[in-house]
Amino acid sequence: MLDQRPLRSARESSSEYHLIHKRLVGPRTVGRLARHYTELTQSQSIERMYEAGWTAAEAAIISEGQPQQTRIGFLHDAEAAWEYAHQLCYERSSEKEHPCHDRMLRIETAAATLPVFRSIIEKRSSASARETYHETVLDIATRSANLLEHSVKSKTGHQGNYKGLGVEELAILALSRERTGKLFATPSLARSDSGKHYPRETHDLQVFSFRRGKRQTITPIEVKSSKSPARYLSPVINAREHMGVRTPRDIETLVDLYRRDYYENTSLEPFEHQRLNSIKFSITELIQGYHQKRKITLKSSESSIPANVA
């Protein structure tokens, strides 16, 4: 049955969207996400269009019982919203003396996920799409590192924005480097990286595990430059501890290492291969530990429920 309620403003819709918990919702919520998309796309705001893109992408991911073309249609909606958000971002950045381009790069990273999601929905090999995704994220990480270097040298600000984006892109690259692996890391949903509501659930990335087109697990990941606060429910990637990134220069060096790994693999020294493998191992170990802890917690809660007495 179609929802006959009058549409809300984009601002009201955004406020309600952020009240949803920060993990992927269930398939019954597809209609609600579609309604949010319609409402949010009434806006000329970069933030609202970015949110709209994620409502459509989330609808595509969770609607596993829907016809394939319906799910692909949601991906087209996400692409349209993110293209418009990117256009708005570009136009408004050109009006500023010292624009911050991290939002534009974040939109590009989100859009880069769509071909991978499509290949999974269509139940075909995602290896080619995942290789393109890795290459695209590598390009975005390179531009982010260059912008970080420029902001440090010119002292124009935005170092924190580019450093935060840089370590997130490096975490994605660590998992996307192996294009045939079962793990696929993406930016988190638009509502998930905001600490306004449910701050303990906040996370920067979501790592999907797929098998034959079916989602197996989803792991929320928080990324921090140097600290690993205990307040988060998700595992925390500490850039200093898990990636050896302490300074902006370290980000540039590691991005360059991923570039050489992809474009000139034979030029890497054994210790460089070992470093990239070690970073991936550290992240996958965090993911495994997170799910093991969840299983123990679930078993503990089940065992605490008293059995019914006949």
Asked whether residue 88 falls in the same domain as residue 9, the answer is yes
Quick count: other Cβ atoms within 10 Å of Cβ 290?
A: 18
Domain-located, residue 121: no
Q: Report yes or no on 16 lying in a domain.
A: yes
Helices (H), 155-267: 159-176, 239-243, 248-263
Residues 154 and 268 in one domain: yes
The predicted pLDDT at position 295 comes to 79
Pick the closest to residue 227 from 216, 217, 240 (CA basis): 240
Output the pLDDT for position 299.
67
Residues 133 and 90 in one domain: no
- For 77-104, write each residue's pLDDT tens digit: 999 999 999 999 989 887 777 677 899 9
**DSSP code for 178:** S
> Is 282 found in the same domain as 181?
yes
Query: Does any domain span residue 76?
Result: yes
Say how far apart CA 124 and CA 104 lie, in whole Å.
30
pLDDT of residue 293: 87
Same domain for 86 and 134, yes or no, is: no
C-alpha span between 71 and 118 (Å, rounded)? 9
pLDDT of residue 310: 34
Q: What is the DSSP letter of 22?
A: S
pLDDT at residue 308 tops 70: no
Residue 286 located in a structural domain? yes
Give dist(CA 47, CA 10) in Å, integer.
10
Considering the entire predicted model, what is its pTM?
0.91
Residue 87 and residue 148 in one domain: no
What residues pair up with 224 in beta bridges, in sequence order? Answer: 238
Sheet containing strand 236-238, strands side by side = 183-187, 205-211, 214-224, 236-238
Q: Does residue 80 sit in the same domain as residue 225?
A: no
Tell me how far apart the alpha carbons of residues 224 and 152 are, in angstroms, rounded to a whole number: 19
Query: How many angstroms separate the CA atoms of 241 and 282, rounded?
Result: 9
To the nearest whole number, what is the mean pLDDT of the chain? 89
Q: Is residue 31 part of a domain?
A: yes
DSSP 27: G
Final residue in a domain of this structure, among 49, 71, 95: 95
76 shares its domain with 174: no
pLDDT band for position 196 (cuts 50, 70, 90): confident
Print the domain residue range for 194: 129-292
The secondary structure of residue 7, as a DSSP letter, is: P
**Residue 46 Cα to chain centre, angstroms:** 17
In a shared domain, residues 35 and 148? no
Instruction: Answer whether residue 306 is part of any domain.
Output: no
Tell me whether residue 303 is in a domain.
Answer: no
Last residue of a domain, one of 74, 95, 116: 95
pLDDT (average), residues 169-175? 96
Are 136 and 285 in a shared domain?
yes
In the prediction, which pLDDT does 1 show? 40
Q: What is the pLDDT of residues 120-169, one digit of tens each?
A: 899 888 889 999 999 999 999 999 999 999 989 988 778 889 999 999 99
Does the CA dihedral 141-143-146-147 come out positive or negative?
negative
| 215 in the same domain as 154 | yes
188: buried, middle or exposed (CB in 10 Å: 19+, 13-18, 0-12)? buried
The total number of structural domains that make up the chain: 2
Does residue 159 share a domain with residue 57?
A: no
Task: Look at residue 110 and tell me if it is in a domain.
Answer: no
